[in-house]
Amino acid sequence: MKRKLTRAEEEVMQLFWEKGPSLVSSLIDSMPEPKPAHSTISTIVRILEKKGFLDHKAYGKTYEYFPIITKNAYSKFSLKGLIKNYFEGSANALVNFLVEENALSLAELEELKKEIEEKLKDE
């Protein structure tokens, strides 16, 4: 995976990750009002397929699309890019930023520490 998704592409991928294999029309049905045009979502879906995030099964003229990149894989890719581009490659700098911005409480930090310690014991 080499490409970051645009906001619109990411929103469509979120729907696929939640719903699984879907027709474009069923994706649109699950979107809030005002609903985007069918052609808009269809174009985004084709771009996602070209980028290697989706594939499809054809049923005559109807295409059912499904994700081939997992949400977890994309999350890892995005987080690594965030750390590299905004925190000089340091996960520690990211955690420090989250604590300073009150986005991560001390209790959450303690819980994170316990989880890390548990993972280290398992290795």
Task: Output the pTM of the full model.
Answer: 0.80
Tokens of 56: 């499809």
Measure the N-to-C terminal CA separation of the chain; round to a whole number of Å: 28
The answer, yes or no, to whether residue 62 has pLDDT greater than 90, is: yes
User: From CA 91, how far away is CA 94, in angstroms rounded?
Assistant: 5
Q: Which domains, and CATH codes, for the chain?
A: 7-67 (1.10.10.10), 87-122 (no CATH)
Residue 84 banded pLDDT, cuts 50, 70, 90:
very high
Question: How far apart, in whole angstroms, are the C-alpha atoms of residue 100 and residue 122?
Answer: 31
pLDDT band for position 123 (cuts 50, 70, 90): confident
> What pLDDT score does 121 carry?
86
What percent of the chain lies above the pLDDT cut of 90? 73
Question: Reduced to 3 states, what is the DSSP secondary structure of residue 70?
Answer: coil
Please state, rounded to an integer, the average pLDDT across all residues of the chain.
92
Q: How many CB atoms lie within 10 A of CB 36?
A: 15
Q: Cα–Cα distances in Å, from 38 out to 35, 92, 120?
A: 9, 44, 49
Secondary element (H or E) of residue 118: helix 106-122
Backbone angles phi, psi at 54, to 5 degrees: -130, 160
